[in-house]
Amino acid sequence: MEMAEIKLKSSDGAGSPWDLDDDRAYQDWRRDKLARAADSAALAGPVEISDLANPGESERRELARRCADSNAAFYIRPNQPEDEDAVREQLRGFAAAMGLRIAEKHRSAGSHGIVALKVSDKPSQKGYIPYSRRPMNWHTDGYYNAPDQKIRAMVLHCVRPASDGGVNQFLDPEIAYIRLRDENPDYIDALMHPRAMTIPENREADGSLRPASIGPVFSVDRETGALEMRYTARTRSIAWRDDAVTARAVARLAEILAQGDPFMATLKMEAGQGVLCNNSLHNRTGFDPDRTTDSERLLFRIRFHNRVPRS
């Protein structure tokens, strides 16, 4: 793995906030980041988009600005059409308008890289938590992907909410980084180790073998200089680097996520509502526990290889 050799100094000679030896660069970035994130959080409600397939320039700019400041932007498309295929088509237009490159390889990415998250008995989906009514613990998407298949952004779009539950929470990975680094920079050092987190190989439902995924939790993208996060709070089928500081860092991160944070967003998305994010940390509660028939909840998910471009 080459991650350990990544240059944390920026090319113009200025310090990088991700360099653990440069506290000044970190403090400068931190102050600015928290101010911008607070501004974004204070904004009242989601960005209203009248034509999802073709968002206007001011709508696009506002979404990009919120993603630059807090790595996520919530939006609402009032009066969403009932027809699922029409919504899919609109989401494809939306992704293109936002300058995003769809990652199509997911096994469930049926139509044009858009995955329908709903309760499913399909052989390829049965038994997987995303396609059940069960809660999902904190994670970033694609944490088991190969490095060249990294997921850097995604859209979650609600077609139909659950009757009961199905609440999502989101947290900006940069806020998680700040909480950990403020407490102990050694936690960041441990979580940036190129072998920090291993997801063992797995036999997929279609019979293919997904190789083991070994890598850091936090890393810095060579091209953009952006902080990226690869994480799951699951405790089965995962191996953390056998090291005391790593164990403490992982435990603290789980605690921070469980206890909540002023910058955490908690919401139950309604029909037509969605989030565009730079693969923020997210979870969901279980839903419709008492229904004997299938839950109606349907969310579309699209994953992207690139981050939301700045406007």
The residues of the shown chain that bind Fe ion, judged by CB under 5 A, are: 141
| CB nearer Fe ion, residue 175 or residue 281 | 281
For residue 171, which phi and psi values (nearest 5 degrees)?
-140, 130
Q: Which tokens belong to 105? A: 């390889």
State which residue has the least CB distance to Fe ion.
Answer: 141
Q: What is the dihedral of CA 89, 95, 99, 103, to 10 degrees?
A: -100
Considering the complex, what minimum distance in angstroms separates the CB of residue 137 from Fe ion?
10
Q: Are 177 and 281 in contact (CB under 8 A)?
A: no
Give the span between the Cα atoms of 24 and 28, in whole angstroms.
6
Instruction: DSSP letter for 5, please.
Output: G
Q: How far apart are CA 79 and CA 9, in angstroms?
A: 48
Q: How far is the CB of 210 from Fe ion (least distance, A)?
A: 17
Q: Quick one: 18 or 138, whose CB is closer to Fe ion?
A: 138
Distance between CA atoms of 278 and 67, rounded to whole angstroms? 7
Alpha-carbon gap, residue 239 to 161, rounded angstroms: 35
Q: Which helix (H) or strand (E) segment is 160 a member of?
A: strand 153-160
CB of 140 to Fe ion, least distance (A): 7
Least distance from Fe ion to the Cβ atom of residue 282, Å: 6
- In whole angstroms, give the CA distance from residue 15 to residue 3: 19
Tell me how far, at minimum, the Cβ of 139 lies from Fe ion, in Å.
6
* Residue with Cβ nearer Fe ion (69 or 141): 141
Are the C-beta atoms of 131 and 125 separated by less than 8 Å?
yes
Least distance in Å: CB of 30 to Fe ion?
Answer: 27
Q: How far apart are CA 157 and CA 261, in angstroms?
A: 24
Residue closer to Fe ion (CB basis): 33 or 303: 303
- Strands 298-304 and 197-199, by their bridges, are unpaired
Residue 92 vs 106, nearer CB to Fe ion: 106
Nearer to Fe ion (CB atom), residue 60 or residue 157:
157
| Closer CB to Fe ion, 187 or 304, in the complex | 304
CB of 141 to Fe ion, least distance (A): 4
